[in-house]
Structure 1
Amino acid sequence: MVSVAARIEAATPAGRDRGMDALRALAILGVVAGHWLVTAWVHGPGGKVYVSSPLSYLPALTPLSWVLQTLAVFFFVGGYAAARSLRSAVDRPAWVRARMGRLLRPVVPLALLWTGVAAGMALHGLPERAVRSLVLPAVGPLWFLAVFAALSAATPLLLLLRPGAVAVSAVAVVLVVDALRFGQGGPDWLGWVNLAAGWLVPYALGICWANGALTSRRAAAGLLAGGTAGAVVLVTGFGYPASMVGVTGAKLSNLSPPTLAVVCFGIAQVGLALLAREPLARLMRRPRIWAAVALANLSAMTIFLWHQTAPAVTVLAALRFGDVPGLLAPPTEPLWVLHRLAWLPVFAALLGVAWLSPLRRGSFNDRVS
C-alpha cells in the first residue's frame, strides 16, 4: 500500500484540486452506502419478490437520509470540473463528444448484463413483478446518468450565460412546478420538469465556483443556512416528507421527481461542501488517504452505475433460500439493519469485480484527468 500511495502521489499533477476529488469521493460513498442500506427486497409466496424500504417501518432512521443523500454534491462537483475542463479545451464540440463517451461507455456492459439476466429469469418462470423488482433498482442509476450527461452536454451554453442567474431561475422553475402540483392540483407528470431543473441548481452553482464566485466563507455559510432554513420550513410547514430519499409506499417522494425541499437541501449541501473543501484538501496531503480517494475517483461513474447490481445479484442468488435476513426478510425490525450491515462486505466485493476491470486499463493520469 505504501508503494502504491507513493506512486499515486508522484503521478498527481501539482495543480490537482484534491479537495474537489475528496468531495466527489464522499458523494459517491454516500450514494452507494445509502442505496445499500435503504433498498430492501422481500420474498413472498409463489416466488414473488417486491421492493421495500426500512424507512417505511423504521422512521427513526430518516436522519440517515440527510447524511447519505449526496447527489447534489456530485452535481456540484461535476459542474465545477466540467467548467474548468472546458475552459482549456480548444475544440468545444470535440470536448462534448469526449465527455459523452466517458459517461456513456460504462452503460453498455450494464445494459447487456441485465438484459440477459432479465431474459434468463423470465425463461425460468420467475414472475414478472419479481423480474422488475430485481432489474429496476439495478438499472435505476441510469436516470442519474441521463440527467448528468444532458447537463454536461449543455455546459458550453451554460458557460456563456450567468450561472448564478441560471441557478436562481432553476429554483424558480421548481417552485412553480411544486406550486402547480401541490397547490393547484396539477398533473403528476409535471413534476418531471424538476428532474432537469432541480439538478441544474447544484450543477450551475458548480460552474459559479469554477468562475471564481462562492469563494468566501460568507457565501458558503449563506448557502448552508439558507438551504437548511428552506428545507426545514418546507418539511415542517408545508407537508414535504422529512426523508430526502424515496420511501416505498409513501404518497410523496422528495427525490423522484425532485421537489423544492430536496433542492433546498442540496443548496445546503453545496454550502457545506464549500466549507469542507479546504480542510479536505489539507487532509489529502497524506499520501495514503489521497491514494484511496484517487483510486475511488478513477472509476467514479462505473462505481455509481454498478453499485446497485451488487445487492441485486446477491438477492437473486439467495432467492432459493427464502427469507434470508438482511436480504429477503421484511425490513420491519431494527435487527434488519444489523443483518444488512453484515451483507455490505459481500456487496463491496461484487462491486470490486466491476471496478477492477476498468481500473486495470490506462494510467493514473489518463483516468483522473
Structure 2
Amino acid sequence: MGAHSKGAVRTGPVADPAELPRAQAPRPAGRDRYFDALRALALVRVVAYHTFGWAWAGLVFPSMGVMFGLAGTLMAKSLERPALKVLRSRLRRLLPPFWFWGLFVVTAMLVHGWMPGRQIVFWVVPLGDPPGSAWAEQAWEILWYLRTYLWFVLLSPVLLWVFRRAPRTVLPLSLVPILLLTFWRNAPDNRFGTALEDLSTYLTCWLLGFAHRDGVLGRIRPAVLVLPSLAAMACGGWYAFAHRADAGTYDLDEIPLAQALWSAGFVALLMYAKAYLGTDFAWLARPRARLRSRGGTLIRRLDRLVTVFNARAVTIYLWHEIALILAVPLIDLMWDVPAFETYLPLGSQWFLFGVGWVLIAAFVLLCGWVEDVAGRKKPRLLP
C-alpha cells in the first residue's frame, strides 16, 4: 500500500540448471505502472464484489492475493533499509488512516448502543480483528485485510531472511501451513485462529513478492514456473467446486485452501510476466506531447486515475463499504423524485455500483489527505 520506488535488485542464490543463465535487466527509476495498474484493478474488483456478490469474481481476478503479492514486493524493497525503521514507517502510514476511519465507525456503533469490552484495544493496533456490533458489520468486516497485512509487515524481516536462505525451497513449502490447517487440524475458533488462517492462505503470495524483488522469478525457465502455477490454479479450482456443497458456494473467499492455491498460481503468473517477459504499462506515462499527437486524452486520464488509486489505496479500501451502505438510502430518496424514478435505473445493482463510486470519490476528497499526513507529505485533495 505504500509508495512504490525502484532500486538495486538482489541477485539471490546462484541459478540451478532449471534456471536461465541470464542476468536481470536494470530496473527503471520511478513508479512501476504495471504494478500500479494491478493494484487499481484489484481495488475496483473488491468494490464490485462487495456490490454484486459474484462468487466467480475471485476466479477471474483474485484481488486480495494480488494485493498481498504487490505488498510483498514493496516490503522486500523497503527492507533494504534497517528493519526497525521500515516497520515504524509502515505502521505510521497505515495506522493514522485506520484511526481516522475508526473514529467514525466506533462513534456510530456507540451511538447505536454498542458496548465495547477489553478487545477495543484492537481498534488501536489491529493485531486481531477489532470488535464491533452486528449493526455495523458490513463496515468493519473488511478489517481482516489490514490485520493480515500488519502481521505480514511485522513478520517480514524474519520471512525475508528465511526466504533468502533457500528461495526455491521456501516458495513451495509456504503452502504447507494452509494444507495442515485444512487436512490435519483446524485453526482455533478465535482471533488467533482467524489471523493464522489468513496468514497461511496468503503466505505464498507475499513470498512471491519477495521472489520478484530478489530477481528469483526472472531466472526460472517458463515451463518450470508456468506449469506448476497452472497446476496450482487447477487444483484450487477443482477443490473449490468439489467442496461447493460443504461451503455452500464455490466462492474462493469461503474456501481457504482453494483461495491459497488459485491465488498463488495467479500471482506467480502475473509476477512472471513482469520479471521474465518485461511486461510493463509504460504507455500510461508517455510524454504528453506524444499523447496529444496520438489522441491520448483517454490514456492520460487513465494514468491519472491509476495514480489516484495508488496514492489513496487505504482510503478507498476502508471507506468503500461505507459508501455502498450510504448509497442504499440515497437511492431510496431518489424514488421520491418522479423524474429520477422514470429515467434512472434505480433498481439496478449497476446503478448502486455507480452511486457507490461517486461516494467513494467524495470520501477520497474528504478523507484522503490523512494518507498524505501519515506519509509526511503535504495534504492534498488529489495526488
User: What is the TM-score with the length of structure 1 in the denominator?
Assistant: 0.70
One of 112, 117, 123 as aligned partner of 2:108: 117
Report the equivalent of 2:74: 81
Q: How much has 1:309 moved relative to structure 2?
A: 1.0
| SS of structure 2 residue aligned to 1:27 | helix
In structure 1, how many angstroms separate the alpha carbons of the residues matched to 2:174 and 2:203? 7
Q: How much has 1:338 moved relative to structure 2?
A: 7.0
Cα pair distance change 1:94/1:358, threshold 3 Å: farther
CA contact (8 A) 1:78 1:206 kept: yes
Report the equivalent of 1:31: 46
Q: For each residue in 1:314-354, what CA deviation from the matched residue of structure 2 results, as whole angstroms up to 9, or x when unmatched? A: 346678999xxxxxxxxxxxxx9971111112111211122
Q: How much has 1:146 moved relative to structure 2?
A: 0.8
Query: 1:257-268, aligned counterparts within 5 Å?
Result: 259-268=256-265
CA contact (8 A) 2:232 2:264 kept: yes
Query: 1:47-126, aligned counterparts within 5 Å?
Result: 62-87=55-80, 89=81, 91-122=82-113
In structure 1, how many angstroms separate the alpha carbons of the residues matched to 2:144 and 2:48? 18
CA contact (8 A) 1:240 1:261 kept: no
Percent of residue pairs identical: 23
| SS of structure 1 residue aligned to 2:243 | coil
Bigger Cα displacement from structure 2, 114-123 vs 210-219: 114-123
Q: How much has 1:17 moved relative to structure 2?
A: 2.0
In structure 1, how many angstroms separate the alpha carbons of the residues matched to 2:153 and 2:263? 19
AA aligned to 1:227 is A
Report the equivalent of 2:176: 172
Cα pair distance change 1:315/1:148, threshold 3 Å: same
Report the equivalent of 2:293: none
| SS of structure 2 residue aligned to 1:161 | helix
Report the equivalent of 2:243: 240
Query: 1:39-50, aligned counterparts within 5 Å?
Result: none
Report the equivalent of 1:348: 357
Q: For each residue in 1:30-67, what CA deviation from the matched residue of structure 2 results, as whole angstroms up to 9, or x when unmatched? A: 212211221xxxxxxxxxxxxxxxxxxxxxx5333422
CA contact (8 A) 2:323 2:360 kept: yes
Bigger Cα displacement from structure 2, 70-79 vs 155-164: 155-164
In structure 2, how many angstroms separate the alpha carbons of the residues matched to 1:222 and 1:317? 49
Q: How much has 1:192 moved relative to structure 2?
A: 5.5
One of 252, 272, 285 as aligned partner of 2:269: 272
Quick check: 1:193 aligned with 2:204? Answer: no
Report the equivalent of 1:204: 207
Q: For each residue in 1:285-304, what CA deviation from the matched residue of structure 2 results, as whole angstroms up to 9, or x when unmatched? A: 34613222111100111211
AA aligned to 1:234 is Y
Report the equivalent of 1:146: 147
Report the equivalent of 1:226: 231
AA aligned to 2:101 is L
CA contact (8 A) 1:134 1:316 kept: no
CA contact (8 A) 1:25 1:297 kept: yes
Q: For each residue in 1:234-277, what CA deviation from the matched residue of structure 2 results, as whole angstroms up to 9, or x when unmatched? A: 235xx32399xxx8xx3897435x62111011012213322554
| SS of structure 2 residue aligned to 1:344 | helix
Cα pair distance change 1:191/1:350, threshold 3 Å: closer
Cα pair distance change 1:104/1:187, threshold 3 Å: closer
| SS of structure 2 residue aligned to 1:62 | coil
Q: How much has 1:203 moved relative to structure 2?
A: 0.4
In structure 1, how many angstroms separate the alpha carbons of the residues matched to 2:188 and 2:112? 35
CA contact (8 A) 2:45 2:57 kept: no
CA contact (8 A) 2:229 2:265 kept: yes
Quick check: 1:304 aligned with 2:299? Answer: no
Report the equivalent of 1:48: none
Q: How much has 1:115 moved relative to structure 2?
A: 1.8
Cα pair distance change 1:254/1:83, threshold 3 Å: same
CA contact (8 A) 1:241 1:254 kept: no
Report the equivalent of 2:124: none
CA contact (8 A) 1:82 1:152 kept: yes
AA aligned to 2:93 is R
Cα pair distance change 1:169/1:316, threshold 3 Å: farther
Tell me how large the CA RMSD over aligned residues is: 3.7
AA aligned to 1:211 is D
AA aligned to 1:306 is W
Q: How much has 1:195 moved relative to structure 2?
A: 1.5
